[in-house]
A = this chain, B = another copy of it.
Amino acid sequence: MSDDPRPPERLSNLPSRLLSLLALHADRQVGERLAVVGARKWHYAVLAVLAASGPLSQADLSRGTGIYRSDMVALINELTGQGLVERVPDVTDRRRNMITITSPGRRRLRRLDKIIGAVQDNLLAPLTTSEREQLIQLLARLADHHAVS
């Protein structure tokens, strides 16, 4: 009877809306694929930052990944539980825990890298290689300008 009403262009071409819809979709894909191996996207972020920057305090990890310090606690618990990182008290500053990635952690990171890479390919499927680069560059400039981690 009633055709599915398409939103008017003012709505469907609204940048903030496009970002929201696509982010939701992309996050869902990432989440589903990672769930298959018992991981979440924040696991990936933590492992990637640790692999690149070396051992970090939880506060630094928090700033490096954009994850809230409060949420970092449970996250590190999960990762230590899986033996992917180690949490050891910092002797030079006894408020801190230093978090270190383990060898299984590095292996896990490589695994997650492949999964997440595949999701990106899927996400960007309709775009050519140079369009993908353009898009990433434009998004990165926006992110940088607004200082979103």
Could you tell me which A residues sit within 8 Å of B by CB distance? 2, 4-8, 10-27, 29-30, 44-45, 48-49, 51-53, 56-57, 60-61, 63-66, 113, 116, 119-120, 123-127, 131-132, 134-136, 138-143, 145-146, 148-149
Let me know if B5 and A16 touch, CB within 8 A.
no
The distance in angstroms between the C-alpha atoms of A3 and B13, with both chains bound, is 39
Sample (16) of A-B pairs whose CB atoms are under 8 Å apart: A7-B45, A7-B65, A8-B49, A8-B52, A15-B132, A15-B139, A16-B123, A19-B139, A20-B26, A22-B143, A25-B146, A25-B148, A126-B142, A127-B141, A127-B142, A135-B135
Let me know if B141 and A5 touch, CB within 8 A.
no
